[in-house]
Structure 1
Amino acid sequence: MSKISCIELYHVRIPLDKPFYPSWIPGYPATDNRFDLIKITTDDGIEGYSAGPAIASERLGLGNLIAPYLLGHDATNIDLMLQRLREVGYLGVRANWIEPAFWDIRGKLEDKPVYELLGGRREPVELYASTGEIKDEDSRIFEARKRYEEGFKTIKIRVHEFDVKKDISHVKAVVDAVGDKMTIGVDANQGWRVTIINDAPLWDLERAKYFADACADMNIAWLEEPLAMDDYDMLAELTKYSKIPITGGEIHTNGKSELKMMIEKKCYDVFQPDAIMTGGIQHSLEVADHCRKHHLKFTPHTWTNGIGFAVNLNVLLASGFTGTKPLEYPINPPSWTIEKRDGILKKSFYHDKGVLHPTYAPGLGFEIDPDKLAKYGKKFFSMNKRRLMFYTIKDKGFLTALKLNSNKKKYGVGTLKKLKAFEPDS
């Protein structure tokens, strides 16, 4: 048993050399790579990390909410940790992005990479260059040629015009330029349409079918998120109709039951949940198993930051789906570069001519650079068991705090295991 002794949270902002305009938030100028980092330390000194993307300081109150749920519990009991995070979710706070930190701890305790811990093996992973911005045709062509020169065999471009014929024209320009050398995927970013700053096109089934036909004529390898992510019936109809694979599933937050239902309905040909966004590593691997059962494909989404990329790399290696489709590799210079994406890591996840060679390092396979974290990160929460007691006394009073501590010792640790003993056999 490796009990959680301390929880720390950091808000990290890594300045970009130039503003980045993500296609999924039209008109929004991202001036830094921004995320919240959690560091979980156990009583035997093991540190586990995970990170969730952030827009601003929206998680300032998270620490006081999660610390009482997690401190003192066995960090390696993944089922119990998931139950605790699920309980936090009842209050409206999504916290399953924290789950990979517990796998990081387990891997380090057993001196194994997480993917090996979960039955995977070390093997080279082919990558695709995943661009992130909407650009004019000349810029798209220049970008595709640069990625090809760097060794990538596959690239994904974004489309976001109100006129579908302009979208098709942009895709054709890239196909004409590099289609004989590169495999090309297209992301429509319709899964979770955001119009907080600029308006964005809203696709219907007719437009999605028309565009899918055009992509098939141009030998496009896949079409990603061409309809709203919860439009299950239309997604299933489009997937059945399309001559090219329809992919999606990166940010579903309604639990694994939603993605399993979508698999059974065959809403996509390729499911690509992001372990940071949709429920964690264990959840993602359960989705992968369900895809296999229903003869569908699986590959994780990775567009967050270097830590999120590492998490999903481990998912892919553990899933048994390596080689199905190249793994997404977020890269969009001169703004979103490898160095800025992986900004607080000691070693970036550099590719070798479009191929990544995973590390044997234990845990999730990265180390946090303390100097870079001190430069770009601001700690906004830190609590250990002693501080939790003082916090509870201040919040609830001395006698209530003693009672809560006594009840936690009596009922808290291992409660999930005790309850499971009373579950009927399936």
Structure 2
Amino acid sequence: MANRIERIELWHVNVPLPAPFWPSWIPGYPQTHVAQTVARIYAGDGLVGETGGPAFTTERRGLGDLLGGFLLGLPADDMDAVRRRLREASYLGWRNWWLEAAWWDMAGKLAGKPVYQLLQREPATVLKAPVYASSGSLKPLDERRRWLDEIRRMGFSAVKIRVKYATLEEDLATVRAVREHVGDGFTLGVDANQGWPVSLFRRNPEWDLERATAFARGCDELGVAWLEEPLDMHDWHGMAELRRRVRTPIAGGELHGAWHELLPLFEHESLDKYQPDAMFSGLTVAGRVMDECRTRGLDFTPHTWSNGFHMVVNLHAFAAWERRKLLEYPYEPPGFVPAAREGIMPPITVHADGTVDVPQAPGLGLEIDEKLLRRHGKRFHVATPLKVAVRAVREKGLRSALLLKKAKDASAS
């Protein structure tokens, strides 16, 4: 019999940044910490799967009460079952595809292979992955130029900058200045962050098709390698029309979850480059996106901007893609730096050739530092079959709790 889930632990983790970071996707908001919910899934015989989803604060306080009944008792090697349960749980609460990574972690450990090899079409060892420096905020050009010089010294030969100014002229001037500074031989991508605008703290400049077209035509002239999220993430028709109008490849797909959310992008031929985040969609869906990109001759490279778990999980997804070009490497000092991004794990550092190491240990190869976990984190929920049973008796009475257990056991057989 397969190992079955017998314990779930959830932690609030809050790693302070060395300086405030001002993300362009939430104008007016100073990020001071990398907040995340860390999950440990225990399946007996020492088998443990780990993962960590992004958080704004401690909004998942009640998540454990929901998950225990859905996930306890599941086989550790049944990916279809866990995705079905996570989908069912999403009808009653949050979308939590980030939890799926723990099952991939266990699957790799059971197989004795790194997760990326489980995802590959033809298994092969991938030791390193080329990365591009991904900025995360709007900065004065003098400050941005110093950052560009820094990343060049670090070994990067590619960069992605953000544009989200009030006027088209300011956006184009930023891209033009960066191109002039780095030269034609440096790969330059641009992120407009129009896919999911947030105006909670300050009004977001929102683009329509005409502004996106005007900006993209400027990118054509400046040799931009890709333009990311130039329109709303659900504007499939608008992105398809933009592709017809310009030469610059159009990219997106980072915040889509289940496969049915990504499929319309393919059906409407909306994108040249697909960037699902394997923690927002699950590695299973990221694998389906790879398959569709292979069939259609399109590009694939995951979104990674969040925490260390996102970086590691999407690094595995990228390593599984045989036509690897560049993977996103979030870096915006002095606030958003690798030591804070990874937080409770060793920082993923860039080599002089612009690459990072791909984990080779069985599973995801996570190396959580227990001291750092306890310094920055607090365990807020533990679910076991006994705890779930006791809670059911208290809330529903003994007879109803027994009927529920009998029905669940029957459905699992």
TM-score range, shorter chain: over 0.9
User: Which of 108, 122, 126 is the aligned partner of 2:125?
Assistant: 122
**CA offsets, 1:45-91, max 9 Å, x none?**
21111111111111111110011011011021000000000101112
User: Which of 141, 161, 172 is the aligned partner of 1:157?
Assistant: 161
Q: Does 1:19 align with 2:20?
A: yes
**CA offsets, 1:159-209, max 9 Å, x none?**
111111011111111111112442111100001011000111111111111
Amino acid at match of 1:375: R
Q: Does 1:40 align with 2:41?
A: yes
Give the C-alpha shift of residue 121 in structure 1: 2.8
What are the equivalent positions in structure 2 for 1:137-286 lying under 5 Å apart?
137-253=141-257, 255-277=258-280, 279-286=281-288
Q: 1:64 maps to which residue?
A: 65
Amino acid at match of 2:95: R
Give the C-alpha shift of residue 108 in structure 1: 1.2
TM-score normalised according to structure 2 size: 0.96
What secondary structure, in the 3-state scheme, does the structure 1 residue paired with 2:92 have?
Answer: coil
User: Which of 285, 290, 293 is the aligned partner of 2:292?
Assistant: 290
CA distance in 2, matches of 1:199, 1:392: 46
Q: 1:350 maps to which residue?
A: 349
Give the C-alpha shift of residue 389 in structure 1: 1.2
Amino acid at match of 1:314: H
Contact kept in structure 2, 1:121 and 1:317, CA below 8 Å: no
What secondary structure, in the 3-state scheme, does the structure 2 residue paired with 1:273 have?
Answer: coil
Contact kept in structure 2, 1:122 and 1:358, CA below 8 Å: no
Give the C-alpha shift of residue 380 in structure 1: 1.1
For these two proteins, the number of residue pairs brought into alignment is 408
CA distance in 2, matches of 1:31, 1:336: 9
Give the C-alpha shift of residue 147 in structure 1: 0.4
**CA offsets, 1:141-161, max 9 Å, x none?**
111111011000001000111
CA distance in 1, matches of 2:4, 2:189: 45
**CA offsets, 1:375-416, max 9 Å, x none?**
001111111111111111111111222222222222225xxx
CA distance in 2, matches of 1:42, 1:299: 32
Amino acid at match of 2:309: I
Contact kept in structure 2, 1:20 and 1:335, CA below 8 Å: yes
CA distance in 2, matches of 1:174, 1:233: 30
What are the equivalent positions in structure 2 for 1:275-424 lying under 5 Å apart?
275-277=278-280, 279-322=281-324, 325-345=325-345, 347-353=346-352, 354-412=354-412
What secondary structure, in the 3-state scheme, does the structure 1 residue paired with 2:6 have?
Answer: strand
CA distance in 1, matches of 2:398, 2:315: 47
Contact kept in structure 2, 1:136 and 1:170, CA below 8 Å: no
CA distance in 1, matches of 2:93, 2:103: 22
Contact kept in structure 2, 1:222 and 1:245, CA below 8 Å: yes
Q: 1:106 maps to which residue?
A: 107
Contact kept in structure 2, 1:189 and 1:226, CA below 8 Å: yes
Contact kept in structure 2, 1:250 and 1:274, CA below 8 Å: yes
TM-score normalised according to structure 1 size: 0.93
What secondary structure, in the 3-state scheme, does the structure 1 residue paired with 2:159 have?
Answer: strand
What secondary structure, in the 3-state scheme, does the structure 2 residue paired with 1:31 have?
Answer: strand
Contact kept in structure 1, 2:236 and 2:264, CA below 8 Å: no
CA distance in 1, matches of 2:320, 2:5: 26
Contact kept in structure 1, 2:155 and 2:351, CA below 8 Å: yes
What secondary structure, in the 3-state scheme, does the structure 1 residue paired with 2:207 have?
Answer: coil
CA distance in 2, matches of 1:25, 1:268: 24
What secondary structure, in the 3-state scheme, does the structure 1 residue paired with 2:400 have?
Answer: helix
Amino acid at match of 2:392: T
Amino acid at match of 1:257: H
Give the C-alpha shift of residue 264 in structure 1: 2.2
| Structure 1: 5+ residue stretches without partners | 414-426
Contact kept in structure 2, 1:264 and 1:294, CA below 8 Å: no
- Percent identity over paired residues: 42
CA distance in 1, matches of 2:179, 2:347: 31
CA distance in 2, matches of 1:339, 1:152: 18
CA distance in 2, matches of 1:145, 1:295: 35
| Structure 2: 5+ residue stretches without partners | none
Moved more, 38-47 or 183-192: 38-47
Amino acid at match of 1:412: A
Q: Does 1:5 align with 2:6?
A: yes
Contact kept in structure 2, 1:118 and 1:318, CA below 8 Å: yes
CA distance in 2, matches of 1:282, 1:240: 31
Give the C-alpha shift of residue 303 in structure 1: 0.5
Q: 2:31 maps to which residue?
A: 30
